[in-house]
Amino acid sequence: MKIKISFAILLILALFTASHAQTLDKAKLDQFFDRLAEKNKAMGSLAIARDGQVLYTRAIGYSQINGTGKKPSTATTRYRIGSITKMFTAAMIFQFVEEGKLKLTDTLDRFFPQIPNAKKITIAQILAHRSGIHSFTSDTDFASWEMKPKTKDEMLAVIAKSQPDFEPGEKMAYSNAGYIVLGYIVEKLAGKPYQEALKERITSKLGLKDTYLGTGNTEVNKNESFSYSYAGGDWKQESETHLSIPGGAGALISTPTDLVKFIQALFDLKLISQESLNQMMQNKMGMFTYPLDGKTVYGHGGGIDGFNSILVYLPEERLALAYTSNGKVYPPNNIILGVFDIYRNKPFQIPTFESIAVGPEVLDKYVGVYSSPGFPLKITVTRDGATLSAQAAGQSAFPLEATAPDKFKFDPAGIVMEFDAAKNQMILKQRGREAVFTKEK
């Protein structure tokens, strides 16, 4: 299970100048997403809203692929949204605070004394990822049980047996486990399951008919999507995390249209007070902040299995954007950047996504094991037919796309590899950094 926040997807928003788009170029947005779909660079759904009104929606790709049978995604296709769930959980926690049923200074031992440091960990610290509760989703053995159902007691046992990463309040470190615990606190205070509390406190109030807690595996009869990775010229279905595990940290299912409605309602104070919203914004409690041309954008990203999602809001423009993806090849960062360029009528060249064919006699020169003094892992390059793949030690292999006879890329991670067969070298470039690797004999 890749329960994670996509921090990087938001950093590009610093490039977005805060000025209203005069007329949204929907035709160009359509052209952009048509190209992404045509070249198998993405599958997913987008919604843009301003002043609470949805301006644009678009879905591309397929929610289900079964052999030659493919079900096209639509604006109502439901996706796992991963850590955006944390915004919903945090909002309900603040509702309980406003109702006098909870204090941010309450310590965790009131609810779960078996968790290490429970007498010292406050609700505020859990909300702000400052509790020190170990996030087990990063453990190496997690993959061995993430697809199996777990009861609440079993999950609490997993969390309770983990040693704290640091003393409460000492620093900030993202903790999925902390928000799983917050989800259980919601249940204790509400006196009902999380999904019922969510419906009563948020979704029914706002008319979010496509947002709910997933509790197991994908249910196709509910129009839920599977997630996929692209390899060997086709989309391959990803394994599924059993949603009994992430709970209040990452188990929600939703659509972009519901998500933009949710964040607009949050900022319109339909769910919590201004004081509570200020806490969320200023202290990074269920929400993160990012610089935006002297202003600030608020939101959260999420990733689980092969799904990636983003939900952001710009208060000055009352602008909300949500993108949910069940298949990525072209980086979601670049998609969001392109959407914002088009939104503000900035010149934007739609990528052609053209690659070149390189013969096996050339590719074979690049095959081998590469190492670099400044890089902790060796990288193995292999050839399968007309495709090169690279694999760092202990990690999954990924396909490389040729852009020149000696230059290859892997878009999802922003990786570029340049080979020099005469020198038995390879230069690895990623996000402005580069390292020289030498092929071992």
The DSSP line for 369-383 is: EEE-TT-SS-EEEEE
Exposed, middle or buried by CB within 10 Å (0-12, 13-18, 19+), for 201? middle
CB-CB neighbours of 27 under 10 Å: 9
CB-CB neighbours of 103 under 10 Å: 13
> Which of 44-58, 134-148, 372-386 has the least mean pLDDT?
134-148
Report the C-alpha gap between 162 and 184 in whole angstroms.
Answer: 18
Residue 106 φ then ψ, to 5°: -60, 145
- Helix residue spans in 171-221 (DSSP H): 176-190, 194-198, 204-206
In terms of Cα–Cα distance, which of 40, 37, 74, 77 is closest to 59?
A: 74
Strands 433-439, 368-371: pairing is antiparallel
The torsion region of residue 412 among left (phi > 0), alpha (psi -120 to 50) and beta comes to alpha
Report the C-alpha gap between 41 and 331 in whole angstroms.
Answer: 9
Q: What is the pLDDT of residues 252-307, one digit of tens each?
A: 999 999 999 999 999 999 999 999 999 999 999 999 987 655 668 899 999 999 99
Calculate mean pLDDT across residues 83-100. Answer: 98
In terms of Cα–Cα distance, which of 346, 329, 325 is closest to 337?
A: 346
Q: What is the pLDDT of residues 380-419, one digit of tens each?
A: 999 988 889 999 887 878 889 899 999 998 876 778 999 9
In terms of Cα–Cα distance, which of 401, 344, 376 is closest to 20?
A: 344
Query: Residue 331's pLDDT band (boundaries 50, 70, 90)?
Result: confident
Q: What is the pLDDT of residues 166-205, one digit of tens each?
A: 999 999 999 999 999 999 999 999 999 999 999 999 999 9
User: By the 8 A CB rule, do 283 and 290 touch?
Assistant: no
Q: For the domain 360-439, what is the CATH code?
A: 2.40.128.210
User: By the 8 A CB rule, do 260 and 52 touch?
Assistant: no
In terms of Cα–Cα distance, which of 426, 349, 416, 411 is closest to 381?
A: 426
Class of the CATH domain delimited by 1-354: alpha beta
In terms of Cα–Cα distance, which of 262, 260, 294, 300 is closest to 280?
A: 300
Q: What is the pLDDT of residues 26-82, one digit of tens each?
A: 999 999 999 999 999 999 999 999 999 999 999 999 999 987 789 999 999 999 999
pLDDT at 291: 66
Domain ranges of the chain: 1-354, 360-439
Q: What are the residues facing 322 on neighbouring strands?
A: 47, 311
Calculate mean pLDDT across residues 225-250. Answer: 93
Query: Residue 13's pLDDT band (boundaries 50, 70, 90)?
Result: very low
3 state SS of 195: helix
Distance of CA 45 to CAs 7, 79, 223, Å? 19, 9, 14
Calculate mean pLDDT across residues 315-328. Answer: 95
User: By the 8 A CB rule, do 159 and 135 touch?
Assistant: no
Q: What is the DSSP letter of 200?
A: I
In terms of Cα–Cα distance, which of 84, 25, 64, 20 is closest to 220?
A: 64
User: By the 8 A CB rule, do 379 and 429 touch?
Assistant: no
